[in-house]
Chain A
Amino acid sequence: MDMVKSEKLKYEYTFETAIDEEEREPLVALKGVDITIEKGMFVAILGRNGSGKSTFAKHLNALLTPTEGTLFVNGYDCTQEELIYKIRKSAGMVFQNPDNQLVSTIVEEDIAFGPENLCIESSEIRKRVDRALKTVNMTEYARYAPNKLSGGQKQRIAIAGILAMEPECIVLDEPTAMLDPEGRKEVIDTVMELNKEKGITIILITHYMEEAIKADKIFVMDGGTVIMEGTPKEVFSQVEKLKGIGLDVPQVTEVAYRLRKRGIDIPQDILSIEEMVCTICQLKSKI
């Protein structure tokens, strides 16, 4: 079954409060998006600022509803207002700035906020909070104040808060943009573990190409539509196309691309450090 299925999804931002007639022209952020994501997948969405990624992500959590077209999340029709809580329970969201998402003064209370609002029994909430803390490796910080934590730790608490609601899908909108290298690694490792071990569908929006190479599938958005989709190897081997729309490729892919252009017989779809090292060793042994 599909976790997400959108067909010709369109969304217009309207500026009803604008005094000037002209400014009331709607801004079309999504111009017919077709995205299908199977349950249990780890998907990355790439695209430049203003390409429509975040607008799409907000639909998955019913923060926005489609202007036209259809969107089903976990089988629920996102155009039906009465399904809004079922949709939000299916797909949780983590945003860029951890400080904007934490609501409580104590870590474990913060994680309990979600399940409390779902009117879950308190003994069950306790269990869920403990489980969520354990999953993100933050058990020892249960009684800490969130403002004493590092950025990576705060994002893991935000993820734990979502986990406590037991969603089948987590949407992360640039969760690592404000973090240092270790914080980025902590968050991505946590997300990968949730995907591999608990089978939670992960939808990751990112500007870090190194994070996207770990996905099962990548969607590239530009100008409000999906312009590329495929495995990381399929997408990143199109170096020129990606650069043309303001994106980038991992450093190793870029080097391989340049060497290839200069006549060296090196594969175009190198994505990781290991692949690069292995390829060079093989080429070298031919000498």
Chain B
Amino acid sequence: MYDMSIKVENLTHTYNSGTAFEKKAIDDLSFEIKDGDFVGLIGHTGSGKSTLIQHFNALLAPTSGKIYFNGEDINADKTKLKHFRTKIGLVFQYPEYQLFETTVFADVAFGPKNMGLSEEEIESRVKEALTIVGIDESVYESSPFELSGGQKRRAAIAGVLAMKPEVIILDEPTAGLDPKGRDEILNEIAKMHKILGITVILVSHSMEDVAKYVNRIIVMHNGKIKYSGTPEEIFGKAEELVEIGLDVPQITHVFKELKAQGIDVPDNIFTVDEAEKVLYDLLKQVEKC
């Protein structure tokens, strides 16, 4: 058994190699993503995140370096690319633009159908995937275009889930959604991580979302991995993150500032739940006085 899911070794990708527009988008990356991890991938626009995730799905081939999935080089044998693409599912930004079928059910069935599965298997996978993302059976036969924005996006995610990937990569799954739609999608993702034991890579510009859900963060900057670690470790580096165009959750700034003012609080608080707990303990004495 391999305990790692994805292993990247000296991965470099250069666009327009050999022309005047040559640009090294990712530069000599090496890291591992463990089976069952919930990883947040953050970095400013142009830091190389999208280039990197397209390699996981073999949409881009490395200029040099290798990507291993459960110990196998995914680019070694071109005839096996299709296999790896079902194992590592990629949900693009604004995935609802990729819906195309006449019914929600048919749209989600498209992936498994192309895998050559039996009718029964397809049906059970579609139902399972739609149930996980919280889409009710009553809309299975509706046009996907009649769904609300958040539902459309969930249907599109179900299309990838129905292929039963071991890893799912989501590129900004909450962009443009209202707060409730955002929380719903992220809760569904957390649920599939928990129930299916699937490895999740979440690309996001929202530090609050990343802080709330992931157990590991990879920070990219100029095609390199700048930092990698737990949310506690990463969000402890507020100044460094701001310097490279990122940020920490709003609440983390409060604790940094309190500490600077000489109040004894931890400076690596990054969720509302933790903040409530720490501040309650700090302030409850005030009530007693």
| A280 touching B251, Cβ below 8 Å | no
| A251 touching B272, Cβ below 8 Å | yes
Please report which residues of chain B, range 245-259, place their CB below 8 angstroms from some CB of chain A when the two chains form the complex.
245-247, 249-251, 253-254, 257-258
Q: Does A28 contact B (CB under 8 A)?
A: no
Q: Does A177 contact B (CB under 8 A)?
A: yes
Among A259, A263, A277, which residue has its beta carbon within 8 angstroms of that of B258?
A277
With a CB–CB cut-off of 8 A, which chain A residues contact B245?
Answer: 180-183
With a CB–CB cut-off of 8 A, which chain B residues contact A276?
Answer: 254
Task: Give the number of residues in B that approach A within 8 Å (Cβ atoms).
Answer: 44
Q: Does B77 contact A (CB under 8 A)?
A: no
B135 to chain A, nearest CB (A): 16
| B285 touching A287, Cβ below 8 Å | yes
| B45 touching A179, Cβ below 8 Å | yes
Interface string of B28-50 (1 = CB under 8 A from A): 00000000000000011110000
| A49 touching B45, Cβ below 8 Å | no
With a CB–CB cut-off of 8 A, which chain A residues contact B179?
Answer: 48, 207, 209, 246-248
Q: Which residue of B lies closest to A174 (CB)?
A: B176
With a CB–CB cut-off of 8 A, which chain B residues contact A174?
Answer: 176
With a CB–CB cut-off of 8 A, which chain A residues contact B261?
Answer: 277, 281
Supposing A177-B175, A182-B44, A284-B282 touch, asked if A49 and B250 sit within 8 A by C-beta, the answer is no
A77 to chain B, nearest CB (A): 32
Q: Does A266 contact B (CB under 8 A)?
A: yes
A279 to chain B, nearest CB (A): 10
With a CB–CB cut-off of 8 A, which chain B residues contact A254?
Answer: 272
Q: Which residue of A lies closest to B257 (CB)?
A: A277
Q: Does A35 contact B (CB under 8 A)?
A: no
| A250 touching B148, Cβ below 8 Å | no
A259 to chain B, nearest CB (A): 6
| A251 touching B176, Cβ below 8 Å | no
Q: Does A283 contact B (CB under 8 A)?
A: yes
Q: Which residue of B lies closest to A270 (CB)?
A: B254
Q: Does B205 contact A (CB under 8 A)?
A: yes
| A150 touching B46, Cβ below 8 Å | yes
Supposing A181-B205, A284-B263 touch, asked if A255 and B275 sit within 8 A by C-beta, the answer is yes
With a CB–CB cut-off of 8 A, which chain A residues contact B287?
Answer: 263-265
Among B177, B207, B254, which residue has its beta carbon within 8 angstroms of that of A252?
B254
Supposing A150-B44, A177-B176, A182-B245 touch, asked if A273 and B283 sit within 8 A by C-beta, the answer is no
A271 to chain B, nearest CB (A): 10
| A287 touching B286, Cβ below 8 Å | yes
B9 to chain A, nearest CB (A): 28
In the complex the two chains form, what is the Cα distance from A177 to B175 in whole Å? 6
With a CB–CB cut-off of 8 A, which chain B residues contact A47?
Answer: 178
Interface string of A170-196 (1 = CB under 8 A from B): 000010011111111000000000000
With a CB–CB cut-off of 8 A, which chain A residues contact B282?
Answer: 280, 284
In the complex the two chains form, what is the Cα distance from A123 to B177 in whole Å? 43
Q: Does B78 contact A (CB under 8 A)?
A: no
With a CB–CB cut-off of 8 A, which chain B residues contact A181?
Answer: 44, 205, 207, 245-247
| A207 touching B177, Cβ below 8 Å | yes
Please report which residues of chain A, range 228-287, place their CB below 8 angstroms from some CB of chain B when the two chains form the complex.
246-248, 250-252, 254-255, 258-259, 262-266, 273-274, 276-277, 280-281, 283-284, 286-287
With a CB–CB cut-off of 8 A, which chain A residues contact B251?
Answer: 251-252, 255
Q: Does A96 contact B (CB under 8 A)?
A: yes
B283 to chain A, nearest CB (A): 5
| A50 touching B148, Cβ below 8 Å | yes
Q: Does A152 contact B (CB under 8 A)?
A: yes
Q: Does B3 contact A (CB under 8 A)?
A: no
| B208 touching A251, Cβ below 8 Å | yes
| B280 touching A259, Cβ below 8 Å | yes
Q: Does B1 contact A (CB under 8 A)?
A: no
In the complex the two chains form, what is the Cα distance from A32 to B249 in whole Å? 38
Q: Does B149 contact A (CB under 8 A)?
A: yes
Q: Does A210 contact B (CB under 8 A)?
A: yes
Q: Does A151 contact B (CB under 8 A)?
A: yes
With a CB–CB cut-off of 8 A, which chain A residues contact B257?
Answer: 273-274, 277
In the complex the two chains form, what is the Cα distance from A48 to B275 in whole Å? 27
| B283 touching A266, Cβ below 8 Å | yes
Q: Which residue of A lies closest to B93 (CB)?
A: A178
Q: Does B62 contact A (CB under 8 A)?
A: no
With a CB–CB cut-off of 8 A, which chain A residues contact B283?
Answer: 259, 264, 266, 280, 283-284
In the complex the two chains form, what is the Cα distance from A255 to B258 in whole Å? 15
Q: Does B279 contact A (CB under 8 A)?
A: yes
With a CB–CB cut-off of 8 A, which chain A residues contact B258?
Answer: 277, 280-281
Q: Which residue of A lies closest to B172 (CB)?
A: A178
Q: Which residue of A lies closest to B269 (CB)?
A: A255
| B246 touching A49, Cβ below 8 Å | no
Interface string of B223-253 (1 = CB under 8 A from A): 0000000000000000000000111011101
3 shortest interchain CB distances as A-B pairs: A246-B180, A248-B179, A182-B245
- Name 23 interchain pairs, CB-CB below 8 A, sorted by A: A48-B179, A48-B181, A49-B150, A49-B177, A50-B149, A150-B46, A182-B246, A207-B176, A207-B179, A209-B179, A246-B178, A251-B249, A252-B250, A252-B251, A252-B254, A259-B276, A262-B280, A263-B287, A264-B283, A265-B286, A276-B254, A283-B286, A284-B286
